[in-house]
A and B are shown apart, each in its own frame.
Chain A
């Protein structure tokens, strides 16, 4: 019965046996559906969720790309585990790839070559798996940016934001461990870097290094250990977090962009069954299909060109996958600072751009919803998304962060930039050393100005309508362009947002000279930061101003139609 679409919402809602039979192709539950209903209450479940509403917007599908990439990763990863041998035991290669004939290599690399050249379809699946990993991380990043810029992380969704930050960081580790498994020259070089970065951590570095690698680099344990993390530990945690992430989306119901009839108390869109199921389900197949086509036509990580890992070999253009590129860039442009205090070495040149930078980045992401709420004093739940211009400081901070990230990213490929654009490697590095500090500041200022200009434009549009594009010559020969009124729907969309008044500092002492602290008080510092955060908005027009522009009688300021 599930296969046939029910025509309207009402039909699916009435399923009790004593009720009159619903009108529609499905008269009553039967067969397996009844069997399950008697055991797990299928009808109750279906009634509650079949017509659940999901709003439609292209940017809401970014998270779905990540989810579907993850499913593709699980499917293709399962296929790869059938043949992959996670061992660093040495063998002599006698497979079908001629250019490795007779070379000593690890079983891990040998089985990777086997999957690529001897298992039919193995090459394709390997490439799909790697493209899916790249897409998984990219889609998570894009999704996170969408959530950030529209303020979707605000109450009650802070926990889901934190889960998202966890997914992003764990996804990065999952990607990095997978990148290391084939044991080719590139992945070994990546491991060499990982080893160097770990041992540079002050005090505990050498211990962590020896515990992870079972002694010195490279040893013979790391592939098996990373394999366990890559196929068991990390996917299990990711799966759990994704389940929690989705459950919270269902519980909170999806956010929606502002528009007529969209309120904080409703969600407007299409029902899960059938429209959203068809769209989301169809999108899964499209993501999967695109990944297969990418795997079919775009080669990725051709490990046989890199050869088996050899700690005395390296290739030009040794880079991590893109999601580690920004850390790589920071490591590349960092000056060579190291302190030698007594018989100890403090390797700032590696520790700061690796461990400290990542720590600061993920912490900053994690605490942002709480910081913003502290700055605005806003404790209300939010289900209507912000248009980025209406939160100018947040938008500017986001763009500054993206600029910082992007410049570091460029640093991670400074050698490729140098060769592809005929630049000097050293000049690129020197430029980036300053640009990572100056660039974000410029980006912040420019973005904030742009947001405020857009706010002003919105205000003008509500008060004076839009340009008609028609030039009118008056009797005395002057030209003017009459404005046409905007629709009430648009006027509502442009004015529905809440504008914050910056917090004001409360007295620090009461009349008896007793220090005041605790909830409800606002310190001077917080008031200043609050003014910096939300004190620049262009005031949206009031109802009175709009009414006044009605009565002005001027051709340029038409009335809103009602």
Chain B
């Protein structure tokens, strides 16, 4: 036992608290590696071996880096390995790991493992320190002259406080202000308009009503999207994306007000979920249900897009369709309500509700 060891405490409070008195730190028991020199030597060799392998692995790492082509692949255990990356990781990772294993093995087997105790000190200051602090504080306050000229502190406080205002104001240009006029031109509007052709996404094929089969789903876009680029393209696409489906008109409910929004069971809905805006196209052609893969809101496209399951609250906006002279699908107008997720200023009184005519 070294002097650093504490012995059992036996203050009156401890006796109250402890029905069994503190027997003090348990006696140190030697390790095999202390008691048996051979065991100690073996541990010593193991530690040195760990450290000794590190340079070997480091060289292997460098060899892999330069010698293995970055696009070399090999199949093993069902994985088509990106060999360069994997070998770099295996050599480098093992090297780093061995440094750690060696160090800990050293600590556990060879370093003195006698536990020692250290005294704790209260986190708080002593009364003497507290008084000294107050004394110095008072001296400083007296030096500053604030108790005779009281406005010094309050005016400084006010001055510093008001500086927050210009600091905050400089952030006013973080983005455009979503005033009613701005909202009307942005989040409440898409590029769909009367006569805009419905085209298939990616290949831009215009859709002919007669080409669509019952049970068909088309991921569509407005043809005028093609004229846009960069952020304008993405912003427009994030609202205008469309799903066109064809269902047997006799198997679905088409309300009176939307009778002329469709052609023989061909209906178009916004692809943007009314919950938080994921694009939805998991459509079950037999149930007519459309599922959002993000949060599983489910909409019934055979019933004007009303919600049948999940966290979404509003029906999917439907786009009024008609056929142009050549038989292609075109929009009659923009969506009649804003598409996408809810926002505070959204007037949601005109959305379709189950049972509306």
Contact = CB atoms under 8 A, between A and B. Distances in A.
A535 interface: no
Nearest to B93: A292
A275 B120 contact: no
B101 interface: yes
Interface stretch (B38-46, B84-92, B246-254, B257-265): B84-92
Contact of B85 (A214, A296, A314, A488): A296
Contact of A219 (B23, B231, B279): B231
Given A289-B97, A346-B344, A492-B21, A270 B295 contact: no
Interface string B24-42: 1110000000000000000
A200 B296 contact: no
A446 B153 CA distance: 58
Given A207-B177, A217-B238, A492-B18, A282 B100 contact: yes
B346 interface: yes
B296 A53 contact: no
B20 A560 contact: yes
Interface string A203-234: 11111011111111111110000000000000
Contact of A347 (B116, B119, B342, B347): B342
B229 A415 contact: no
Interface residues of A, number: 135
Given A285-B97, A492-B21, A311 B279 contact: yes
A317 B347 CA distance: 32
A504 interface: no
A546 B19 contact: yes
A525 B269 CA distance: 56
Counting chain B residues whose Cβ lies within 8 A of the other chain, the interface size class is 35 or more
B78 interface: no
Contacts of B314: 338
B117 A53 contact: yes
Given A253-B120, A275-B107, A491-B20, A192 B344 contact: no
A507 interface: no
A132 B341 CA distance: 33
Contacts of B106: 278, 282
B120 A383 contact: yes
A19 interface: no
B116 to A, nearest CB: 6
A391 to B, nearest CB: 16
B327 to A, nearest CB: 25
9 contacts: A121-B85, A214-B174, A216-B186, A260-B23, A260-B25, A290-B93, A293-B94, A415-B293, A496-B17
Given A332-B295, A425-B296, 4 more contacts: A192-B278, A195-B276, A270-B116, A415-B293
Interface of B: 2, 4-9, 15, 17-26, 65, 70-71, 82, 84-90, 92-104, 106-108, 111-113, 115-120, 122-124, 171, 174-178, 182-183, 186-187, 201, 219, 221, 229-231, 234-235, 237-238, 241, 271, 275-282, 293-297, 307, 309-314, 340-349
